[in-house]
Amino acid sequence: MTARTKADTKAMIDHTTRFDPGVLAGANAALLQATGIRAAGPSDAPPGGGQNNGGDGVNTGVVVRTRPKTRKPAMYKVLMLNDDYTPMEFVVHVLERFFQKNRDEATRIMLHVHRRGVGVCGVFTYEVAETKVTQVMDLARQNQHPLQCTIEKE
């Protein structure tokens, strides 16, 4: 077995890719697919070409990493509905406990619900809004209050 120099190895790689580009294509394609990187084609070339075809038979290109587009999640308002039986102090307690409102803000929201019939407790993603509605309804039932809470897409 003979020892290879860097020049020998480079020449062998150049020879393989220059004369038989399909040799490494399978391994490269699998690697690119696994990493989410795609080889840019002619449509991705920068102005002026981007391809180097200087007569030596070697073409070069640009590798572009594609990223999936992410969207912000839909937001939902948690609404509290007025009733004639739930004590105002209990509503304030619920707003402080589940919606992290201070006493003044909780009182303001409670009075809004009392006067208008409905009020917004907060705006959350769907799962968080559903959880908060369930928590409010469970506590109201445990304390035998008919307090109603619901969600509405913003």
**pLDDT tens per residue across span 58-80:** 677 788 888 889 999 999 999 99
Query: pTM of the full predicted structure?
Result: 0.58
Q: What is the DSSP string of 57-88?
A: S-----EEE------PPPEEEEEEE--SSS-H
Q: What is the DSSP string of 87-132?
A: -HHHHHHHHHHHH---HHHHHHHHHHHHHHSEEEEEEEEHHHHHHH
Strand partners, 122: 78
Q: What is the pLDDT of residue 53?
A: 54
Mean pLDDT of the region 2-22: 55
Mean pLDDT of the region 36-40: 57
Residues whose CB falls within 8 Å of the CB of residue 99, separated by 6 or more in sequence, listed in order: 78, 106, 121, 122, 132
- Domains of the chain in start order, with CATH, are 6-65 (no CATH), 75-153 (3.30.1390.10)
Q: What is the pLDDT of residue 29?
A: 62
Q: What is the CA radius of gyration of the chain?
A: 32
- Residue 30 above 50 pLDDT? yes
**pLDDT tens per residue across span 92-121:** 999 999 999 999 999 999 999 999 999 999
- pLDDT above 70 as % of the chain: 62
State how far the Cα of 77 lies from the Cα of 91, in Å rounded to an integer: 17
Computed over every residue of the chain, the mean pLDDT equals: 81
Residue 12 CA to its chain's centroid (Å): 45
**pLDDT tens per residue across span 116-141:** 999 999 999 999 999 999 999 999 99
State how far the Cα of 55 lies from the Cα of 59, in Å rounded to an integer: 9
Q: For the chain, what's the residue count?
A: 154
Q: What is the pLDDT of residue 25?
A: 59
Q: What is the pLDDT of residue 64?
A: 84
Mean pLDDT of the region 10-36: 55
What tokens were used for 93?
A: 């307690």
